[in-house]
Chains A and B, each alone.
Chain A
Amino acid sequence: MDRRVFMRNGALALLAAGFGGVPHFIARAAGNRKILMPYKKNKVLVCIFQRGAMDGLMAVSPYADQNLRIQRPTLYMSPSAKEGGMFDLDGHFGLHPGLAAFAPLYKEGRMAIVHGVGSPNNTRSHFDAQDFMESGTPFNKGTSSGWLNRAVGLLGHKGTPFRAVSLTSAMPRSFYGDNEALAISNLQDFAIQMRGNPMGANLAAKSFEELYDQTSSELLNKTGKESFDALKMLNANTIKNYQPANGVVYPASPLGNSLKQIATLIKMDIGLEVAFAESGGWDTHYNQGTANGILARNLKDFSDSIAAFWKDMDAYQDDVTVMTMTEFGRTVHQNGTGGTDHGRASCLFVLGNDVGGGKVYQNIKGLAKEDLEDGRDLPVTTDFRSVFSAVADHHLRINDDRKLFPEWDGSRLNLMKS
């Protein structure tokens, strides 16, 4: 039986279902369906935005700088060989124990850390700084597109609605723009559903498709089209029944859940090129703690989620790069409530087999007061665009930096393997 005939028969059966439940054979066959998609295997860039501004000085701490000890009387940490202690990266920087899951990746040379990274625009507003980092134009609020949307456009592979997928409930600024992009927090929601009436649901779906096709609202029209295109391609059962490789168990957190779904999409091979996820709770103004506490918990979830994803990727690792980002860092000195306020530079992590890992890339002068911005903050010594463009160039083969980051004429950081 050819595919078309089956499709029709399937449809008829579904119509029948409207009169008396889902036929048994359909329910059974659904779980076994193989996915065959006409897209060639792509490279995938996974970006994770840490919203709220991660304290880079605690995550990857320049513990050897004595100024830090003075500025942070109760927040200072130093390496310790003890279980749950800080991991010494290179005699100067230490990895927070919450990030223990990163240590093996760093040692294997797959993970690079960039420190002192941030935006040349010195705003300390979360919302402006996130906007600038995601649009990729730190001095222009009017840029309508996000840098990852432009990246997808430069890649130029048409024909699948799944090129850019954000596992968030709202479309991130990075994805704004002319190229198709999807935002959905739970892939299982990819269905028009009416309980006990699948036939009615199908008719409703087709009705919606017609209505969204003709609405005068551009946004509703465009999003509707993207949704129905995607709907037709995705097998919600595959999502539901997904089993990670190597017995990996993802943390039951929003980030863990997002990365698990990204892994599903990568393995379904439906043309994913850029994926986006978020992690929240980094705005630690109050009692951020040290080896334990809010920040430690966030770091643990963050690194455990990424490490689980990496292990799950297994055979796909050569095609995947993970890059994290956060809008700015936090004050060098601790504030009066056991936390830190908005600062300037922070650090980020890049993970992949083509990453020149096992190294902290940095240009930090030191934490003496005269070396700080406004006498208080770690200055930005590496422009975030020099990292983003290096990853885009090497991993995705996008080398038109002027289009990816208009207004920028800096050079790429040399952190990928040549």
Chain B
Amino acid sequence: MSWRRMLKCFTVSATLCVASAFTHPTTEFSKHKLRFPYQKMGLTPQQAAAHLLSRFTFGATPGQIDQVVSMGLEKWFQQQLDASLPDDEVNKRLSGYDALSLSNEDIANTYVNQGQIIKLLQKEYQLPKDSLVKDNKELIKSLMKKYGLKPPQELYRQLINQKIIRAAYGNNQLQEVLTNFWFNHFNVSLTKNQCAPYILTYERDAIRPNVLGSFETMLEATAKHPAMLEYLDNASSVSNDNAQSRKQQNKVMARRAEQKMEETMNDPKVSPIVKQALAARKTQGLNENYAREIMELHTLGVDGGYTQHDVTEVARALTGWGIVPLIKDTPGRNFFDAAKRENMEKNGFVFEGDFMFKANKHDENEKVILGQKFPANVGYAEGIRVLHMLADHPSTAKFICKKLAVHFVSDHPSDALVNQMAAVFLQSKGNIKAVLTAMVNSTEFWSKDALREKIKSPFELAISSVRATQADVQQPYQLFLWASKMGEKFYYYQAPTGFPDKASYWINTGSLLSRMNFGLAFATEKIPGIKLNLKALNDNHEPESVDAALVAYSNILLPQRNNEENIKRLTQLIHSDNVEEKINSAASKNKPADAADDDMMSESDKAHRKNENAALSRKNKAFNVSYAMGNNSMIGQVTGVIIGSPEFQRR
């Protein structure tokens, strides 16, 4: 029996209902028509469109609110749910990114790590094993060129840049917003070396195609992807409690190997490190990491009703879920290539892409999970049944829907809304479109309390700045550096929780000052490779004064917001009599402010300062204009203040 047929047999009953939901999504979905109650909630179509765009895009582009109003809010949202708009701009900007379409195997054998490089050095030049990478930089360079190898940093750069480009220029904005959301939900991290090479394909293959599909499909795709299998150690969680291993252990060969091992362990010449590695291999077994996090973070939630016993049982059920050997010229790979897949499949192995179920590393015994009995000897299908049970669980429905509501509605959504969404989740078998529809059809989504209630994450701030100003991002990586500085080093969040999705996480002293500095640097074009044409946003009209610029650019960058108070406050500031004193009082103590300094001045310094002061008092009256027309463009500074302002942090 092929693995496909076997898979069918084992899972047909478990997935029957889910399958029907897949094949007839429209019938299920048609029950949930889009009908937005914003008028009932006292919003004008413009206000409603601004709100809709603030939640389901990475920021409105100039004029987009009016476009959405004229096409109809529901129609726009339906288009976003369909996620099939052409993306020429993205494709154009990504045309030089050669890593984006590679397979895991290509990546693993192209973007090589230090270990692979050292091995290659030995092979090519017979260098000793302990030869250091840093002593052989030139050799390595030529070797890498010869074999077409590249450093992993280049892979990560492409991964990071593509996210920025898609978010900034993509037409299917909801898909990108959800890709960001679900990636964070099923977080993996570049901080873990074993998982890092596969993160690009993880987002591409396991996350993005599923973000508007079925939750269970996405859960299964993440569970089987090399990135997740490495990140939470499940690839190495194994058991010998199965017939195949027991059979092997009886074989003469195995007995001989055991004998050899014993000799090695008793050999005083063998280094303790080698012995330890051998001993570790012998004690191979269970690792609970993934089993716990799949319940705590991916499905049920920490209060979802599981115990430590369930964690251990789920870990046992998922033993043997691993990866085909991807790196060429390794003992594991050579052994694998020599073996016949058909024979392995006959023995219960399952292959799917780079996923491999190792029947001889699976715990075959009976398990009890969340009170349900899982009979012995089911093999691969047992894990599938666990995933199905978790995806379909009422705790999961609630946990996932709350997370969605927190992201899209407010930091504290009502229980009523969450329950309403959870009911749709269960009834539609985790159809994400149906759940989003229920959410956006609710009155709570459009309530005045929800408007501007969310604080943008640093990534959202950076991308919304690009979109609002129609900036040309030629060096996307610069925005990654800024987002990191502001507290969101995306793809590098170490813990499996992903970034906490709440305002109090993003806003603190350091990050707030960085946000302000970002606004200034961005708008005055001090970030390399980011080009702005701010005049064009104002119909190529250059405002004649700071006041006029404030009014014009507040309304361009923050449409449908009440900007009056802010404009008034800043206008007052600029025109106040003691403006310099006020300005100075706000400045950091990065400057001299002590009488003692006076003694340190040379006579020429003093004279210099005297001249400066005299010049200044002459110019003082013209202060506003001269500040504004100084080295930096006035529009840039005004725009920078708006981007760093509290109102622009909100969505």
Contacts and interface: CB of A to CB of B under 8 A. Distances in A.
Interface string A191-234: 11111111111111111111110110101110110111011111
Nearest to A206: B586
A237 B588 CA distance: 10
B534 interface: no
Interface in B490-535: 494-495, 497, 500, 503-514, 516-517, 520-521, 524, 526
A283 B232 CA distance: 11
Contacts, number: 323
Nearest to B452: A217
Interface string B580-622: 1111111111111111111011100110110011011100000
B308 A190 contact: no
Contacts of A2: 595
Given A9-B609, A25-B608, A123-B302, A184 B508 contact: yes
Contacts of A70: none
Interface string A1-36: 111001111111111101100011110111011100
Interface in B292-324: 292, 296, 302, 308, 311
A336 B589 contact: no
Interface residues of A, number: 105
A235 interface: yes
A23 B169 CA distance: 43
A250 B596 CA distance: 32
A182 interface: yes
A207 B568 CA distance: 11
B516 to A, nearest CB: 5
A8 B585 CA distance: 10
A11 B584 contact: yes
Nearest to B485: A189
A10 B591 contact: yes
A7 B593 CA distance: 5
Interface in B89-130: none
A52 B233 CA distance: 15
A215 to B, nearest CB: 4
A201 B517 CA distance: 9
A13 B517 contact: no
Contacts of B236: 286, 336-337
A194 B526 contact: yes
Interface stretch (B216-224, B248-256, B413-421, B630-638): B630-638
B22 interface: no
A127 interface: yes
B286 interface: yes
20 contacts: A6-B597, A14-B584, A14-B591, A16-B613, A124-B308, A124-B311, A169-B511, A199-B627, A202-B583, A206-B582, A208-B586, A211-B645, A227-B513, A232-B588, A235-B590, A285-B289, A336-B237, A337-B237, A337-B285, A341-B287
A8 B580 contact: yes
A153 interface: no
B28 interface: no
A200 B239 CA distance: 65
Contacts of A237: 590
B590 A30 contact: yes
A182 B308 contact: no
A287 B280 CA distance: 8
Contacts of A221: 646
A257 to B, nearest CB: 13
A314 interface: no
Interface in A336-352: 336-339, 341-342
Interface string B259-294: 000000000000001001001100111111100100
A384 B640 CA distance: 47
Nearest to B573: A210
B584 A285 contact: no
A198 B520 CA distance: 12
A74 B508 contact: no
Contacts of A176: 504
A74 B279 contact: yes
B505 A124 contact: no
A261 to B, nearest CB: 11
B641 interface: yes
Contacts of A13: 609, 612-613
A126 interface: yes
A189 B623 CA distance: 28
Contacts of A26: 591-592
A186 interface: yes
A127 B631 contact: no
A19 B619 CA distance: 11
B570 interface: yes
Interface in B532-556: none
A231 B588 contact: yes
Contacts of B631: 18, 196-197, 200
A124 B612 CA distance: 65
A183 interface: yes
Interface of A: 1-3, 6-16, 18-19, 23-26, 28-30, 32-34, 51-52, 73-74, 123-128, 169-171, 176, 182-186, 189-212, 214-215, 217, 219-221, 223-224, 226-228, 230-237, 280-281, 283, 285-287, 290, 292, 334-339, 341-342, 374
Contacts of A193: 517, 520-521
B600 A29 contact: yes
A223 B570 CA distance: 20
A74 B302 contact: no
A283 B494 CA distance: 10
SS class, residues of chain B in contact with chain A: helix
B566 interface: yes
Nearest to A3: B595
Contact of A223 (B311, B508, B626): B508
A170 B509 contact: no
A19 B296 CA distance: 58
Given A1-B595, A29-B600, A286-B236, 5 more contacts: A14-B587, A199-B630, A204-B520, A207-B641, A337-B233
B238 interface: yes
A74 B582 contact: no
Given A6-B598, A193-B520, A214-B565, A16 B584 contact: no
B639 to A, nearest CB: 11
Nearest to B550: A207
A15 B645 CA distance: 23
Contacts of B283: 73-74, 334, 336, 338
B594 A34 contact: yes
Given A6-B598, A231-B588, A207 B616 contact: no
Nearest to B280: A338
A12 B612 contact: yes
B573 A206 contact: yes
Given A12-B613, A125-B302, A169 B646 contact: no
Contacts of B630: 18-19, 197, 199-200
A212 B505 CA distance: 18
A63 B565 CA distance: 68
Given A10-B593, A214-B569, A25 B516 contact: no
B588 A11 contact: no
A327 B630 CA distance: 54
A212 B590 contact: no
A72 to B, nearest CB: 9
A9 B613 contact: yes
Contacts of B383: none
Given A204-B516, A204-B520, A15 B580 contact: yes
